[in-house]
Amino acid sequence: MATVISSVGEICRNAKRASRTLAQIDGAVKDAALEAIAAALNARVAEVLEANERDLRAGESHLSEALLDRLRLDQARVAAIARAVLEVAALPDPVGELIEGRLLGNGVRLSKVRVPLGVVAVVYEARPNVTIDAIALALKSGNAVVLKGSSSAVHSNAALSQIAAEAVAEVGLPDGCIALLADGGREEIAELARQKDTVDLIIPRGGEGLKAALEQSATVPVIYAASGNCHVYVDASADLEQAQAIVINAKTQRPGVCNAAETLLIHRRRAGEFVPQILAALGHAGVLIRADEGTMALWEAAIKHGPAGAPADDGAGVTVQAAGEEDWAREYLELTMAVRIVESIDEAIEHIGRYGSGHSEAIVTHDTAAARAFQLGVDAACVYVNASTRFTDGGEFGMGAEIGNSTQKLHARGPIGLRELCTSKYLLEGDGHIRR
């Protein structure tokens, strides 16, 4: 069953012992464990939903609708979580994968192979599906996992981790390979971050506050799956019908997630036509718009004079407010979007470089040179041409699932999947060789 011990240190020591066994377990056994988790989730869905309902009731008084959506589970979402586990099980086992091999000049055979990291700790907020995603990816890659969820999902996380731990125990995985820390707040996170003798990596999945807390206390290596201040830039050559579809999807399909777009940049040459069109579409989709002066002027003129593209109802139901400097750097995680007109693709790239978080950025264009300039000029984990930022996801990338999306450059960048949870080891074989 899931480890329930008061000491963070003891939990991590148990996980370390389990990791040594996991590193040697055959891939077929790990796959059987994941299949058992998926079956148990489907069989015990009522138990999961009951726990989730307790969290939702507790959160109604203080969580936004976007955060409640991230927290909410239903039968379809639980089934999707179980399917994702099976997709991870069906992926090739990364452990032991040969990265390179050659015969050295001295006659020694060198092989570089993938091996598990050991113990991976995942700290996350308000998304109970991460509990199972992290477990599946960690076990498949031969790692023990220590989970630290948020107080808003305490019952959901407990139910999910318990179901998974009981399922893998029946297959023969070692005790302690799945551990869920109690809700001890930031003090518990700080203690976890100092377990450098037993924890090999921490992956935080949350806001800037969580990142700052870990930066202050961590002695364990950290891959920051940080915030997503994502942009869509509509270039001068864009197909505006395509641009509208991409913007609406990137902003509204699921606004409370890190790959949702927060800022729309529009080239000056298309602004007169596109601003009335897209602001009306965003507003009618329930999006509050924070606009720069140029965008505000175009919208007000469209309402007053009614050019092509302006809403027939004179903008009723569309809320456009003046943007402040803080709006360009903000991750809203709700139905709010900042909109700015830029003079060129260079200005768009400069804006993204100044305010973006390095997560996911998109350009809508029919100009090959502009697309290439955007791809080369934007420094982000994922850069899209004529596609929504909402595709930044381990499942969409064929990785089965992800623990998070890394916005840093070492040791992983982008969706964190199986290979990103491995390191490498050199294996060398000789026949009595000695160095002279």
Q: Point out the least confidently predicted range of 23-27, 69-73, 96-100, 205-209.
A: 205-209
Residue 226 near residue 357 (C-beta atoms within 8 A): yes
Residue 301 CA neighbour count, 13 Å, CB half: 12
Residue 397 near residue 416 (C-beta atoms within 8 A): no
pLDDT at position 344, please?
98
pLDDT at position 298, please?
96
Please state, as a whole number, how many other Cβ atoms lie within 10 Å of the Cβ of residue 113.
Answer: 17
Structure tokens at 194: 């100092």
Whether the pLDDT of residue 303 is over 90: the answer is no
Q: What pTM was estimated for this model as a whole?
A: 0.86
Residue 247 near residue 386 (C-beta atoms within 8 A): no
For residues 104 and 100, give the distance between their C-alpha atoms in angstroms, rounded to a whole number. Answer: 12
Structure tokens at 328: 């360009």
Structure tokens at 387: 């596609």
Supply the DSSP symbol for 3: B
Annotate 350-374 with b (16+ C-beta within 10 A) or e (fewer): ebbeebbbbbbbbbbbeeeebbebb
- Going from the C-alpha of 45 to that of each of 40, 74, 157, 163, the distances in angstroms are 8, 9, 13, 10
For residues 202 and 146, give the distance between their C-alpha atoms in angstroms, rounded to a whole number. Answer: 9
pLDDT at position 78, please?
98
- pLDDT tens digit string along 144-174? 999 999 899 999 999 999 999 999 999 999 9
Residue 312 pLDDT grade (very low, low, confident, very high; cuts 50, 70, 90): very low
Nearest CA to 327 out of 287, 364, 355 is that of 355
For residues 354 and 1, give the distance between their C-alpha atoms in angstroms, rounded to a whole number. Answer: 47
Name the CA dihedral angle for 302, 304, 308, 312, rounded to a multiple of 10 degrees. 110
More confident residue, 3 or 335: 335
pLDDT at position 313, please?
52
Domains detected in the chain: 8-225+403-429 (3.40.605.10), 230-391 (3.40.309.10)
pLDDT at position 4, please?
46
Average pLDDT, the chain: 93
| E strand or H helix at 185 | helix 185-192
Partnered with residue 180 across adjacent β-strands are 147
Whether the pLDDT of residue 214 is over 90: the answer is no
> Which one-letter amino acid corresponds to residue 191?
E
pLDDT at position 359, please?
95
Whether the pLDDT of residue 291 is over 80: the answer is yes
- pLDDT tens digit string along 385-420? 999 999 999 889 988 888 889 998 888 999 999 999
pLDDT at position 17, please?
98
- Output the DSSP codes for 201-249: EEEEES-HHHHHHHHHH--S-B--B----EEEEE-TT--HHHHHHHHHH
pLDDT at position 48, please?
98
- Going from the C-alpha of 320 to that of each of 49, 135, 341, the distances in angstroms are 38, 43, 15
More confident residue, 308 or 387: 387
Residue 257 pLDDT grade (very low, low, confident, very high; cuts 50, 70, 90): confident
Q: Point out the least confidently predicted range of 18-27, 362-371, 378-387, 393-402.
A: 393-402
For residues 79 and 85, give the distance between their C-alpha atoms in angstroms, rounded to a whole number. Answer: 10
Whether the pLDDT of residue 354 is over 80: the answer is yes
For residues 277 and 309, give the distance between their C-alpha atoms in angstroms, rounded to a whole number. Answer: 5
First to last CA, the chain: 54
Supply the DSSP symbol for 419: G
Residue 187 pLDDT grade (very low, low, confident, very high; cuts 50, 70, 90): confident
> Which one-letter amino acid corresponds to residue 69?
D
Residue 356 near residue 365 (C-beta atoms within 8 A): no
For residues 166 and 154, give the distance between their C-alpha atoms in angstroms, rounded to a whole number. Answer: 18
Q: Point out the least confidently predicted range of 20-34, 81-95, 199-213.
A: 199-213
Structure tokens at 28: 């077929």
Residue 161 near residue 135 (C-beta atoms within 8 A): yes
For 381, residues 6+ apart whose C-beta sits below 8 A from its C-beta are 358, 359, 360, 392, 405, 406, 407, 413, 414
